Amino acid sequence: MPNDHIPVDVRLPKGVRCAIALTYDTDMAGGYAPDGICHGRTMPALQEYIMRLCGTAEQFGVRLQFFQIGNGLVLPDVVEHVRQVLQRGHAVDSHTYSHLPLITKEVAQLGEELALTNQLFEEKLGWKSTVLRGPGGYQNGLDGLPENQRVILKNGFKWVSGRFNGNLLGRRGATSTEGPALEPPYAYPTGLIEFPIQAATDRTWFDTLRCVSPEAWTQWRKECGHKPIPKGWRAPWTDKDALDDWIRYNQAVADFAYERRLACCLCWHPYSHYVHDPDNRALPAFLAHCAAKTEKVWVCTMRDLVEMCVSQ
């Protein structure tokens, strides 16, 4: 940990052995877009899939955490969709307005985007965002960027989740499950608290680590990206065992956190699961695995998780 990082304690509630924030970035991914542009204007087919995720979580008594790109909230159907997610008891927070990286050199633009997205959340949803997810993930978090940190704090965010240590990733079968211990939360000198993403994301897993044909991915993206997926279709660029191994990998991360009584932050994407898990196998398998533990595993929102953080 760099010398200027301030350690943060995570105090689990009484009776909870480990806490896992299962977070979903609800973007229309640039990697699945014909024009390569990521945005928050969630297509109807993906809205339906998100509602399936909500229904699955509710069967286990779990509230999910979503992060919404602000530019989607200019569309009435997206606003109504996000309202329904909130009404069902799940949490939704900011993912910036245009998927702008938090490490941008355009600090003034970052401030404008955060303020505009906050305004849209309040005006369109009647909801205040308190946790900020950094688009893209950053090897060094916001280290050495005090002005970026200050503009985030100025816009009302005490907590950010943007650091993603690529060293957790490896070749097939070698991806680390120890992120909850290797990547603990910390505070920057400005007081902003970082809770890193602590495991491989679905997007990295399916589209990079387990990609067997980049050409097939590129062709699909150009011809079919950001369109509904036909029933029975399977992503031709990802190896056939990727989903089964993804399910086992996340269960292993949960096991690691459980054994060591840790808190954990996972980052998934509805669009990636819509593409690679159209039958919604991963979420129920993960929640059932956690529910089967002898002691309580609290699958919670990011809002819940950061409230457990106390700077030393």
DSSP 146-164: HHHHHHHHHTT-SEEEEEB
Q: What is the pLDDT of residue 251?
A: 98
pLDDT at 215: 98
| Burial class of 75 by CB neighbour count within 10 A (0 to 12, 13 to 18, 19+) | middle
Mean pLDDT of 122-130: 97
> What is residue 84's predicted lDDT score, i.e. its pLDDT?
99
Who has greater pLDDT, 175 or 37?
Answer: 37
Contact 219, 44 (CB under 8 A): no
Share of the chain above pLDDT 70, in %: 98
pLDDT at residue 142, rounded to an integer: 98
* Res 6 pLDDT > 60: yes
| Contact of 100 with 71, CB cutoff 8 Å | no
CATH superfamily of domain region 6-311: Glycoside hydrolase/deacetylase (3.20.20.370)
Residues 6+ apart with CB under 8 A from 226: 28, 32, 33, 34, 43
* 174 confidence band (pLDDT: 50, 70, 90): low
Task: Find the mean pLDDT for residues 143-165.
Answer: 97
Q: Specify the pLDDT at position 246.
A: 97
pLDDT of residue 2 exceeding 80:
no
Q: What is the CA radius of gyration of the chain?
A: 18
pLDDT of 256: 97
Look at residue 26 in the predicted model and tell me its pLDDT.
Answer: 97
What value does the mean pLDDT take over residues 283-289?
99
| Res. 76: pLDDT tops 90 | yes
What pLDDT is attached to residue 1? 62
For the chain, the average pLDDT equals 96
Chain centroid to Cα 142, Å, comes to 17
Residue 235 tokens read as 């992503």
Would the pLDDT of 194 be above 90? yes
DSSP letter (8 states) at residue 11: -
Tokens 């211990």 label which residue?
181
- Average the pLDDT over 83-99 and give the result: 98
Q: How confident is the model at residue 171 (pLDDT cuts 50, 70, 90)?
A: low
